[in-house]
Amino acid sequence: MAIFLVSCSPTLAPQKSAGRPSVLLFYKTRGFRHASIAAGIAALQQLGRENGIRVDTTRQPARLVPDTLQRYGAVVFLNTTGDVLDDAQQAAFEQYIAQGHGVWACTPPPTRSTTGPGTGGWWVLTSKATPRCSRQPATVLVSDTAHPATAFLPGRWVRTDEWYNFRDLAPDLRVLATLDETSYSGGLNGPHHSIVWCQSYGGGRAFYTAGGHTDESYTEPLFRRHLLGGLRYVLGR
């Protein structure tokens, strides 16, 4: 899809645009599907248009093969759910990252079989009583102000979203922000509840943010800048 369009139908550029970084936005779901996917696609395409980044979209896992992946500097996983890649696609994607490309992941937290290594951990539900995390305001504690995704954020960033707990986080993550579990109900990770992080993997870069479950998220000026900073990071800009 050309960057100027805002639909969710999958299209791919025939080749990289000279001098213009490109990302492939992948939004396949199996199971629960966030209604905010369309708003996320529109926001990321607008950010791309405004900042010289081409954003193509697809929900076809068959597109995640070496010949297609090599056209892009990074892949965005937007609200993917379920086991959306087979073994061959998974291997192709891992090779792609190891060759120096980027991966940018946005909610819900990915399983290893969804986005491959480099995204940091698995997600768990907040409790048996709430099969999906409740939408509520919470305070994000920004701990790293030297990253393009967080440099402009306030130290205590209050926003409304769905909030997840995590397990099996990789030990070498660069944590950019955590959640203040005293500011909302349902937190299970304690005082070090990582919510935004990045990581070097092989020759590439990975960025993860656990926000963007609501349409309203993509109209928040600070959240949009946060998304753009993550894109710039995985593209090496």
Handedness of CA 36, 100, 193, 124 (dihedral sign): positive
Confidence at residue 97, expressed as pLDDT on a 0 to 100 scale:
86
pLDDT beyond 60 at 13: no
Domains of the chain by residue range? 22-234
Is the pLDDT at 224 greater than 60? The verdict is: yes
CA–CA separation, 214 and 55 (whole Å)? 21
CATH topology of domain 22-234: Rossmann fold (3.40.50)
Residue 5 reports pLDDT greater than 90: no
pLDDT at 64: 82
d(CA 72, CA 86): 20
pLDDT value of residue 109: 44
Region 65-86: what's the mean pLDDT? Answer: 84
As a whole number, the mean pLDDT across the chain is: 79
Residue type for position 191: P
**pTM (two decimals):** 0.82
Asked if pLDDT for residue 16 goes beyond 60, the answer is no
Query: Of all residues in the chain, what percent carry a pLDDT higher than 90?
Result: 44
| Amino acid at site 4 | F
Asked if pLDDT for residue 101 goes beyond 50, the answer is yes
Contacts of 8 (CB under 8 A, 6+ apart): 27, 37, 38, 41, 57, 59
φ, ψ dihedrals at 233, nearest 5°: -65, -50
